[in-house]
Every structure is written in structure tokens, then in C-alpha cells.
Structure 1
Amino acid sequence: MISVEQVRAARAWLGISQQEVADAAGIEVRTIYRIENGFRGATERTLRRIKTAFEAKGIVFLFDCSRPIGISIRT
């Protein structure tokens, strides 16, 4: 699943607010804030919703053997 670092990087790359991510993912902004500040207890469902929201905006999450290693933008 996506990492805290990937969430931070994706939002920064897109230049969008935590509120925009939360709205797109259908979750509370407090959840994005907590994740970006190192909270690693988010449910898989929440992380999947965040991942889907970013992917809809063109972000591609990169993995190596299921280990999150970065992000890219779909061209």
C-alpha cells in the first residue's frame, strides 16, 4: 500500500491542499493531516481511497516488490 512519504509527495507535486485531497477521497481533512505527519495506523480502505483520488489526478505510485519507492505523473 502507499506510504506516508508518497502521500506527502503526491500532494506537494500537484500543489493541492489537504482539504482538496480529503474531498476527493471522501475522508476527513484531519485524516490527511495525521497521515502526512507520520500516522501509520490508517486503514487499508482509507489509503486505497487516497490512492484512487491521487490516481484520478494523474499520480502514479511506484513500488519495488510491493515496497513503496516513489511517485510519478502520468503523461
Structure 2
Amino acid sequence: MITASQMRAARALLGMDQRTLAERAGVSLPTIQRMEASEGDVRDVAETHMKVISAFRAEGVEMIGDHERSNDGGRGVRLAHPVGLTGRTH
């Protein structure tokens, strides 16, 4: 499972726009827009998740879930606290 915040952060790391992600993942632009507009975990078809995650992996971005370590010790993006618990939104 990935979150909308992870998707936006991964795109930002790559300097990639939504259209480019959609093309590289083989999904439609409205699908990417809907996924990124989600609150918390992205709710979508598992196959779509895998396409998006694979597109990021192909570009060198690893999605790190809650309480997971980075497999390769490379750079990643993770919120230290869930949004809202610290009183900050970003």
C-alpha cells in the first residue's frame, strides 16, 4: 500500500509531473490524479498500485512503508509522524 503523500514526494524527488508518471506506469492521467488526491492510503486496484510502484522503482525510488527499513540503504521519504498528530500539516 502506498500513500498519496509518498507518490507526490517520489515525483518531487524525480522532478516528474503527473503526466510523465502516468505514461511510465502505463495508467491514465486521471488515475494518477485520483490516487494523489486520496487521503492517507491510496485506494485503487492492486495492479495499478504495482504499475506505479514499478515505475518509481525503475527511476530509483523505493517506497518505504510504516516501520520498514530501506532495502538498499538509499535515500527515501518518510513522515516522522502521521500528519495531524504534531499539529503540522507538512
TM more than 0.5: yes
Q: Structure 1: where are the runs of 5+ without partners?
A: none
Give the alignment's TM-score, normalised by structure 1.
0.79
RMSD: 2.0
Question: Which structure: larger Rg?
Answer: 2
- Structure 1 residues 33, 58: closer, same or farther in 2, change over 3 A? same
Residue 2 of structure 1 corresponds to: 2
What does 1:51-66 align with in structure 2 at a 5 Å threshold? 51-65=53-67
For 1:4 and 1:49, the matched residues in 2 are separated by: 15
Aligned partner of 2:57: which letter? E
- Per-residue CA deviations over 1:32-60 (Å, capped at 9, x if unaligned) read 11111116331111011000000000001
Cα deviation, residue 65, structure 1 = 4.8
Bigger relative contact order, structure 1 or 2 (CA pairs below 8 A, ≥6 apart): 1
- Structure 1 residues 41, 61: closer, same or farther in 2, change over 3 A? closer
Give the alignment's TM-score, normalised by structure 2.
0.67
- Per-residue CA deviations over 1:10-50 (Å, capped at 9, x if unaligned) read 01111111111000000001111111111633111101100
Q: Structure 2: where are the runs of 5+ without partners?
A: 69-74, 78-90
For 2:37 and 2:30, the matched residues in 1 are separated by: 11
Higher helix share goes to which structure? 1
- Of the candidates 23, 44, 47, which is equivalent to residue 46 of structure 2? 44
